Chains A and B, each alone.
Chain A
Amino acid sequence: MNLPIDKSSTPGLVLAVFFGFIFGFLLDRGRVDRYEVIVNFFRFRDFTMLKIMLAAIVVGGIGVGILNAAEMVTLHIKDLSLGGLLIGGAVFGVGMVLLGYCPGTGIAAIGTGSVHGVIGFLGMIVGAIAYGVSYPWWKAHVLVLGDFGKVRLVDSGVPAVVCWIIILGIAAAILRGPVRKIERGR
């Protein structure tokens, strides 16, 4: 079988359903489609989201890294456009705490019965429209600010293996240090 499969082909669309199902299922079992779990992460009271994200990043990153070294996958690096990332990320953070979900977990939450999640989804649609309509302005004034293109941590000269050792070290230090301390304190 030749990989990758064209995602607009019929097998590709069947796989979309399969992968999406697994993703939604996992998000629910991780309970990150719960308002409290998301909001309490930002209040340092529930570290479920952080644990899931760090585990996903490390496992996925090492897997994709190995396959990339074997030239079996293509990377998809997004531009380091500081204007868009800083303003967009800040706006996103406010929205995430107000709604109590991110886009993916909010959609999953609708499946678990969250009515306010449905309202949040309507907000997402309107937000997407507002951005799409005002896109030329953002493109001309903000997206061009601090645009460094497709930069990876390894472009600094630090080998990927060292990057992962540092990431693992920091993740372990946070999870075994402050996180454990706070969790024991309750």
Chain B
Amino acid sequence: MKKSILQQGKWNPYVVGAGIGILSVLVFLIVDTPLGVSTTVAELGGAVLGLFEGRESVKAIDYWAKYPPAINYGLLFVIAMLVGAFVSAKIAGTFAVEMVPKLWSDRFGPGMGKRALAAFWGGFLLLFGARLAGGCTSGHGISGTLQLAVSGWVFFAVVMLSGIITARILFSSGSKTRNPQQS
């Protein structure tokens, strides 16, 4: 029995990309807001810090005076993203609890501790880097590049270069056999 398009877990990447492109145009037109994620995570960081330090003292910090933590458009957008991915995976039957991804365990073993450490510091560097650069894959990589912003294209190029070098260091040494890709 042929699966309907809604049940197919993998859509053509060009169709998905075009969809995200159209979505970008709609958000510019309708809410005057480029797609972006990392600003919202920065605001969430301020909210979390506020739990420990008190909200008022966080608001006194330069950075969160600029990006005050709040229940706003960005936060709802990000929560809805998570829900959208959940609904998509549930409909397609691809939802699966993943503790350690296969590619990782093939290379570094199935231990959760090592993976957790990499995931935590990976996330740390992601947000630190994104805020330093002023955006992430969505804010710079898609919204910036599509407006022909030089900053977006520079970010895109630097991330690619850095990621390629990191992947080379992490995955090439030690693996004697070039494992054929099974995707």
Contact = CB atoms under 8 A, between A and B. Distances in A.
Given A40-B181, A123-B120, A97 B132 contact: no
B21 A55 contact: yes
A85 B126 contact: no
B72 interface: yes
Interface of B: 8-11, 13-14, 16-35, 37-38, 41-42, 44-46, 48-49, 61-64, 72-74, 76-89, 92, 94-104, 115-116, 118-168, 170-171, 180-181, 183
A173 interface: no
B122 A64 contact: no
| B interface majority secondary structure | helix
Contact of B94 (A27, A112, A122): A112
Given A27-B85, A91-B125, A103-B127, A78 B140 contact: yes
A100 B74 CA distance: 23
Nearest to B120: A123
B38 to A, nearest CB: 5
A8 B34 CA distance: 15
B80 A78 contact: no
Nearest to B80: A20
B112 to A, nearest CB: 8
Contacts of A30: 10-11, 13, 16-17, 20
Given A8-B72, A93-B162, A46 B82 contact: no
Nearest to B131: A131
Contacts of B153: 153
Contact of B170 (A3, A22, A97): A97
A12 interface: yes
A61 B148 contact: yes
Contacts of B136: 92, 102-104
Interface string A22-54: 111111111101111001111111101001111
